[in-house]
Amino acid sequence: MALVAVGQLTSTASMANNLRQCQILVKKAVQAGAKALFLPEATDYISSSAEESLSLVKPVQESEFVLGLQEEARRFKLPIHVGVHEPSSQTSSQQRIKNTVLWINEQGEIAHRYQKIHLFDVDIQGGPVLKESQSVEPGMKIEPPFETAFGKVASTICFDLRFPEIGISLRRQGAEIITYPSAFTVPTGQAHWEVLLRARAIETQSYVIAAAQVGRHNEKRVSYGHSMIIDPWGRIVASVGEKADEPEIATATIDLELVKKVRAEVPLRRRTDVYPEV
């Protein structure tokens, strides 16, 4: 068993300030005795426009934010799972970026990377209009789970949460912990955040770790918060809530024996002879 921390903060267009917030979260995680820290989607920055985002994005080897987190991971021997932006590898007339998540191991090395495959295009009556596909390049593959000291971890990002197929595929590949770093809007968060996270935990019989952005990022964006960790039975075992006055963590113990118990007691034998395998 191992204690892990899920973090919550309010990222802005200032990567220096966002790094300072993350350093606070690292310190809190270390003081709590956590063996890893999970941070939200787009922790490096949240911009007010696609143009501003393009002006801010840097390769990870040049990003003061990523380099700073790598130094924190090395200094405290604390692995960090974090959402960032990266430049697109595609060459086209339309400039776009990648929405990715990185696993920085305790040596400060980037040991895993996943690029968001489902992009957030919504137009909610009385709520925000967001078209992520206009400026973000979609990922093209699900990355397999990777080994950690506390279990096999699999990565997804935010809007991926609405698609159960990705979690089921990761479970089939051996995932014991599935992450959903996010920046949910307030209307969608109030309606769907908790219920979707609990559903993903129950249907995959895995721990779900969901680090969330919270509060007002700029004049256009407000995030819901409520970072949480859910066990394989669907119970919320750690939650931050909607506090936005300072960066905060919540911690929970990952118990792989519980994963085995739930999967043994309620075996999910999918009838792929009747319906297609996802």
Give catalytic residue positions: 41, 116, 158
Sign of torsion over alpha carbons 59, 60, 63, 65: positive
Contact predicate 52/92, CB 8 Å: no
Of 180, 178, 179, 185, the C-alpha closest to 225 is 185
Contact predicate 47/56, CB 8 Å: yes
Contact predicate 116/157, CB 8 Å: yes
Contact residues for 257 (Cβ-Cβ < 8 A; gap 6+): 1
The Cα–Cα gap between 90 and 107 comes to 30
Maximum Cα interatomic distance, the chain, rounded to a whole number of Å: 54
Contact residues for 92 (Cβ-Cβ < 8 A; gap 6+): none
User: Following CA atoms 162, 165, 167, 170 in sequence, which dihedral angle do they give, to the nearest 10 degrees?
Assistant: -150
Backbone φ, ψ for residue 148 (5° rounding):
-135, 175
User: Following CA atoms 180, 186, 188, 191 in sequence, which dihedral angle do they give, to the nearest 10 degrees?
Assistant: 100
Contact residues for 72 (Cβ-Cβ < 8 A; gap 6+): 22, 23, 26, 78, 80
The Cα–Cα gap between 67 and 113 comes to 15
